Amino acid sequence: MTVGVVGLGLIGGSIAKAYKEAGETVFGFDIDRTIADFALLSGVLDGILDDSNIKKCDLIHIATYPEAAIDYMEKNAAKFAKKTIVIDDCGTKRKVCEAGFALAAQHGYTYVGAHPMAGTKFSGFKYSRASMFNGATMIIVPPVFDDINLYDRLKTILAPLQLKGLVFTTAEDHDQMIAFTSQLAHVVSNAYVKSPSAQRQKGYSAGSFRDLTRVAWLNEQMWTELFLENKDNLISEISTIIDNLSQYRDAMVNDDAKTLKELLRDGRIAKENCG
């Protein structure tokens, strides 16, 4: 299999390394040519992805920010071979999938939206690793939901990532859920660590502080784009947590132990129910 990878940051670099480790031919492209050259010299790439080899690709992963993914597809859609499956690995799906499906229909190749549920607090090629996706799930937004042949092809071409499984959904459902499971967590963590107390926490903190602040260290450029693109869903989740926190605060202001105990119990039960 010949694979193209666009964007050689943490996710794209890990994708490239996973396919290369599996013995596949890998071409890669990054807007920063020095990164692509380093990947080539280090043996991760067999060549730079360009017009000379793009049609050879059976699979192209686009692991960039959503706007950059759309821009790349618009500029290169006419160059993709009909056999090629083009997958974007962006963190939001509605805007990129709308563009991706339209371009694929126009030019005759197959496009699939995807989002691998893996990563670290670090970014960049130097932190990428072939094992990044081992045991992780990948969310898939397919063009249709009744194409068994496409499902089988996806299982085959994604096998080198050693995923635990694929979760099929719509772009709308993806963005709604990711606002809660990922984006809200990053907002809360980033806001929580801004307390003046955070600068005096050493010696007073253990696992709770570490867990809640882990994703406060983030790539602000990437998350700004993702948050704004999905702001309708994320604002709704932020409003919900503000309302919930207000109930805890009000119970304490009023010395209402009964209500506070009920709120804490309800939260415990909610956690038990969601796993």
Q: One digit per residue, pLDDT tens: the chain, 275 residues?
A: 999 999 999 999 999 999 999 999 999 999 999 999 999 999 999 999 999 999 999 999 999 999 999 999 999 999 999 999 999 999 999 999 999 999 999 999 999 999 999 988 888 999 999 999 999 999 999 999 999 999 999 999 999 999 999 999 999 999 999 999 999 999 999 999 999 998 888 888 888 988 999 999 999 999 999 999 999 999 999 999 999 999 999 999 999 999 999 999 999 999 999 87
Separation of alpha carbons 90 and 82, rounded Å: 23
> CB 274: neighbour CB atoms within 10 A?
6
Phi, psi of 210 (to 5 degrees): -60, -45
Q: Are 92 and 229 in contact (CB under 8 A)?
A: yes
Q: Cα separation of 185 and 136, whole Å?
A: 19
For residues 253 and 251, give the distance between their C-alpha atoms in angstroms, rounded to a whole number.
6
- φ, ψ (nearest 5 deg) of residue 193: -75, -5
How far apart CA 57 and CA 83 sit, in angstroms, is: 8
Tokens 């000379």 belong to residue: 52
Q: Which pTM does this prediction carry?
A: 0.92
> Whose structure tokens read 């979760």?
167
State whether residue 12 is helix, strand or coil: helix
Strands (DSSP E) contained in the chain are 2-6, 25-29, 47-48, 59-62, 85-88, 110-116, 137-141, 165-168
